[in-house]
Amino acid sequence: MICCNSVVPYNKLQWYLLLCCFIFLTHGENISRSDFPDEFLFGVATSAYQIEGAYDEDGKSLNNWDAFSLSPGNIRNDDNGFVANDYYHQYLKDIELIRSLGVDAYRFSISWSRILPRGRFGDVNPDGIMFYNKILDELILRGIKPFVTIYHFDFPQELQDRYGSWLSSLMQEEYVHYAETCFKNFGDRVNHWITINEPNLFTQMAYQKGKYPPARCSQPFGDCAAGNSDTEPLIVMHNMLLAHGKAVSIYRRDYQHEQNGSIGIVLDCTMYEPLTDSDLDQEAANRGLTFLIGWVLDPLIFGDYPSEMRKYLGNQLPQFSSAGRKLITNSIDFIGVNHYSTTYAKDCLYSSCSETANRSISGFLATANERDGVQIGEPTGIGSLPVVPRGIGEVVEYLKNKYDNKPMFITENGYSEPQAEGQGQDPIQDFKRIEFHQMYMSSLAQAIRDGANVRGYFVWALLDDFEWIIGYRIRFGLYYIDRQTLDRIPKLSAKWYQDFLKNNTQKPGIRISELVHYKADS
């Protein structure tokens, strides 16, 4: 159906036959909506910079990603988010797509540079406020719950130029001002706030590997113009945790009671499994989880960094003052879990590894996708994210045990095809994506039956989008975006999700016999 750039949408009968065919081939994964608790929320997710475009319209200033993508070579194919999916102009159409899927909730983020183009150095941009007000009103009108991420990797470039953004403690106040602007203007309609998306991944990508703006790093991690890969990620995280804590305390003091919402943070929750059965590798896997997840959640729940991190990082790890500790302790109402994949961990305390794995900032462990010549999971479009369905259950189980079963939402889970466009796969017939979600959902449903307090699941992503440094070549969407026309074309997975959400009383899953009555009605 897709040949080079020409896209012919399927008719209803074709959709129906394709779905039948898929379910026959996969024997129908035994998962249905009724495998989840009644009040469980299903949703789709996006983030501002990845879809909005309109990078210099209506008062929006240049942000860190706009500036970064202006330098050739930073982003694959020199793509950028200047137009992205033109969601800024087409959001009504997209909200209608969201509604037609039948989801309960929509996770999206606010563009900092759209509502505060100069941060604290300038005024609030009324056009930016109006844009998000319209989105919120449309969602509420359609009965879709907004899950709003305040900060998802993008901020006004001026804050970088003036004082180095997150490397400076000034950024804490900047963030608080921004977050409060959001609470004040949007909080009457938002019941779920997310302060920061994946501070653990961002610090690593931006300040250790130097691949995200501001592209700072040092040897042996990378070859950047400036930076220190051993210390800067720790400073940046410290500033982010304190910024989070300050914003949450303002929310709780001035807004939460009246607005009746909850507030949490979203983390990259990759699962670690030991490479071998040895105790050392088992410890390395635990250490991996501590350095990735405990780094953020221990401070925000217990009030300090994990002692194991302190043991290896010593004074490189910043200290919280007693006031800071008070501020951050118990500062989340829920944990947002972004989970895509699982990796093996190998001990590097007692065996020699690569130069980077041997560093304390890496937790003295190496990661691998292969054990005894066998891959941990089928590859996807991103090398570090093979398909390992059991991992979502495992990571949720880990969080349940470690953090007293605090409420959790799977805020992102998604699949990107391994092959680039034009290499033989029809991106519309995305059987693999359906299979991915079915398998991950099955593992999650089991963890919930085993007592994990997971309250919702968001597919990443609603639309194919600007995938940061990978640009547009890798696609995660339920809807295909034709890059020439920006048309939104439903993939088979969109139909599948819609159907999954409709058949909320059926168990086990949708079957061929039931499909005889299936109406592909949109």
Q: Which residues bind ligand BGC (CB under 6 A)?
A: 47, 50, 197-198, 201, 268, 338, 412, 460, 467, 476
Give the C-alpha distances (Å, rounded to integers) separating 289 from 297, 313, 315: 11, 16, 21
Place of tokens 């026309």: 485
- Within 10 A of 515 (CB to CB), how many other CB atoms are there? 18
Report the residue number, 198 or 281, with the smaller CB distance to ligand BGC.
Answer: 198
In terms of DSSP bridges, do strands 342-347 and 334-338 run parallel, antiparallel, or are they unpaired? unpaired
Which residues, in sequence order, are bridge partners of residue 342?
271
Q: How far is the CB of 264 from ligand BGC (least distance, A)?
A: 15
Q: How many other C-beta atoms lie within 10 A of the C-beta of residue 522?
A: 12
Minimum separation from the CB atom of position 152 to ligand BGC (A): 6
E strand or H helix at 492, and its extent? helix 492-502
Q: Which residues, including other chains, have CB under 8 Å from residue 193's CB and lie 6 or more apart?
A: 148, 150, 182, 183, 187, 251, 261, 262, 263, 264
Judged by beta carbon, residue 299 or residue 477, the one nearer ligand BGC is 477
Q: Which of 232, 283, 412, 467 is catalytic?
A: 412
Q: Is 421 a catalytic residue?
A: no
Q: Which is nearer to ligand BGC, 47 or 493 (CB)?
A: 47
Nearer to ligand BGC, 10 or 476 (CB): 476
Q: Which is nearer to ligand BGC, 272 or 460 (CB)?
A: 460
The first and second tokens of residue 317, run together, are 């790890």
Quick one: residue 314, left, alpha or beta (phi over 0 = left, psi -120 to 50 = alpha)?
left
Least distance in Å: CB of 98 to ligand BGC? 17
- Taking the complex as a whole, how short is the minimal distance between the CB of residue 360 and ligand BGC, in angstroms? 24
Q: To the nearest whole angstrom, how small is the minimum distance from the Cβ of residue 212 to ligand BGC?
A: 10
Active site residue 412: yes
Question: Of the candidates 110, 147, 108, which has an alpha carbon nearest to the alpha carbon of residue 131?
Answer: 110
Nearer to ligand BGC, 32 or 46 (CB): 46
For ligand BGC, the closer of residues 477 and 490 by Cβ is 477
> CA of 512: how far to CAs of 25, 39, 432, in Å?
11, 28, 19
Q: What span, in angstroms and rounded, lies between the C-alpha atoms of 190 and 176? A: 17
Give residue 292's identity as a one-letter amino acid code.
Answer: L
- H-assigned helices in 194-306: 199-203, 232-250, 256-259, 279-289, 295-297
Token pair, residue 61, equals 């200033």
Please count the CA atoms within 13 angstroms of the CA of 127 that sit on its side-chain side. Answer: 12
Shortest reach from residue 467's CB to ligand BGC, in Å = 5
The minimum distance between CB 380 and ligand BGC, in angstroms, equals: 10
Structure tokens at 56: 């210099």
**Identity of the residue, 47 or 256, whose beta carbon is nearer to ligand BGC in the bound complex:** 47
Between 197 and 256, name the residue whose CB sits nearer to ligand BGC: 197
Q: Which of 138, 180, 198, 232 is catalytic?
A: 198
Quote the CA–CA distance of 60 and 50 in Å, as a whole number.
15
Which residue in the block uniquely carries the two structure tokens 């995200």? 212
DSSP letter string, 18-85: HHHHHHHHHT--S--GGGS-TT-EEEEE--HHHH---TTSTTPPPBHHHHHHTSTTSSGGG--SSSTT
Alpha-helix runs per DSSP H in 348-489 = 390-402, 431-449
Least Å distance, CB 198 to ligand BGC, is 5
Tell me how far, at minimum, the Cβ of 412 lies from ligand BGC, in Å. 6
Active-site amino acid positions: 198, 412
